[in-house]
Structure 1
């Protein structure tokens, strides 16, 4: 009887391992897909999409909200990955924004989705507009909310508290909030954070906790020890922006993209 139990447990463990391997292969196949922009693929070495999404616990049957997707770097991965069983809410700039940049960015993003309806069939475009209180997704509907390199922008506009509150509202009890952000050295002032684009890990954690989230785990998957976080044009000195143009270009290319925190928060179940 004991032997049979052991065999059953071993068989179950093997099945789970195969299932996990199949899921990982599916994510990797999306990341390696021909639909992705070549310039985006070139940044995989800095942004580590497979390891990042696995750390955040993103599964193909989830309902996920991507906040401020911009040109769609992560949308190119999340859209197809969630396309068969899940759903992706892309909370982009407001349609009625007076900003011409916002309008161009939103149009370009929608054009991307329209050009490959198969890859993005389960992507729903919503609005991220904390100052107006619009929903990024129906309240309590999302398994996960993810945002990449955006917290400094909300700080600049003074609505980071409202942003985190909107994430909390969109998530189901027990849902995950994943945040990747350029990382400032501890003790950096808020003024310098806004100016440089680098934010202290402590500031992000406190902002999330203020909204009701609990920090579950942090990861160094997107760390870059070569980055001092002290540059003439802030984080935009580094690639892909390279704000200084050809000035010290090789130096900044050698550093690569910024040092980043990767944080997983949880909305309490009750």
Structure 2
């Protein structure tokens, strides 16, 4: 009788824990939905949700309102417009932009515009502006402070700048910033593995197998992939690479409607985790 009773109690506790997890997950998704409709989001950016799927993507990467998040190379702030409202009350957001001393005119301009954006609304007051470059020892956030590091459509840039070495520097820096058990979330234009023998390196597309290989070299464990951001219409074979497609539409004399019909690029969505045991 005592054994039966004990097993019943254990089963009940397990069921109770499961039932508690469901409301928490639903609450987090509701808050993601609310953040995606926050007033700071521009209509132009909202129009791209159909391709970038921010709510499902952030949920897949375990981002919650209580997370400490590092956004790598936030650009003009497309995801910042969602992450800042989401994390404003209980979380932290590090925006690792171009370094303040960058010699790139584009980088200087992009960082200055981002600083102006952060000053435009009180919702951004907690955003901590840091720096990123695919170099050794760059601190995108204090070591061991982040629950999640996010990078969206950046891998091809690092590869074009410095090959696998630059990418490994970047992944090592993310590993250092993350807490044990933390998540690295990667979204990138996906090169079909069947096209590895083509001249793909400056196309803007990147092979998933190489992304996984370099992340694992940095110490990450590849946990899962998702087709949230997949686009089967995209062949990854266009005259001007990924920039042929929306939103860039570098189509030359071609009919832009052809590429608008394809939509934005096919994207891999990869989830890596920093092991608990160090």
TM-score bucket of the superposed structures, by smaller chain: over 0.9
Measured in 2, the distance between the counterparts of 1:165 and 1:5 equals 41
Match of 2:135 among 131, 136, 144: 131
Measured in 1, the distance between the counterparts of 2:79 and 2:211 equals 21
Structure 1-normalised TM-score? 0.93
Unpaired runs of 5+ in structure 1? Answer: none
Question: What does the per-residue CA deviation read over 1:133-155, in whole Å, with 9 as the maximum and x for residues that have no partner?
Answer: 32101111111101000000000
Question: What does the per-residue CA deviation read over 1:113-147, in whole Å, with 9 as the maximum and x for residues that have no partner?
Answer: 10012x11221000002336321011111111010
1:64 and 2:73 equivalent?
no
**What aligned pairs does 1:44-83 form with structure 2 within 5 A after superposition?**
44-83=49-88
Q: Give the match for residue 18 of structure 1.
A: 23
Change (3 A) 1:208 1:14: closer
Measured in 1, the distance between the counterparts of 2:204 and 2:62 equals 27
Query: Does the CA contact (< 8 Å) of 2:205 and 2:236 recur in 1?
Result: yes
Alignment: residue pair count: 269
Change (3 A) 1:216 1:99: same
Match of 2:192 among 161, 185, 192: 185
Match of 1:250 among 243, 246, 257: 257
Aligned to 2:110, what secondary structure does the other structure show? Answer: helix
Question: What does the per-residue CA deviation read over 1:166-220, in whole Å, with 9 as the maximum and x for residues that have no partner?
Answer: 1111111111100000000104348833210100110100010111111000000
Aligned to 2:272, what secondary structure does the other structure show? Answer: strand
Change (3 A) 1:245 1:9: same
Aligned to 2:119, what secondary structure does the other structure show? Answer: helix
Change (3 A) 1:10 1:113: same
Change (3 A) 1:121 1:36: same
1:154 and 2:158 equivalent?
yes
Question: What does the per-residue CA deviation read over 1:240-267, in whole Å, with 9 as the maximum and x for residues that have no partner?
Answer: 0111256321011110000000000001
Structure 2-normalised TM-score? 0.90
Unpaired runs of 5+ in structure 2? Answer: 1-5
Match of 1:228 among 235, 249, 255: 235
Measured in 1, the distance between the counterparts of 2:12 and 2:274 equals 38
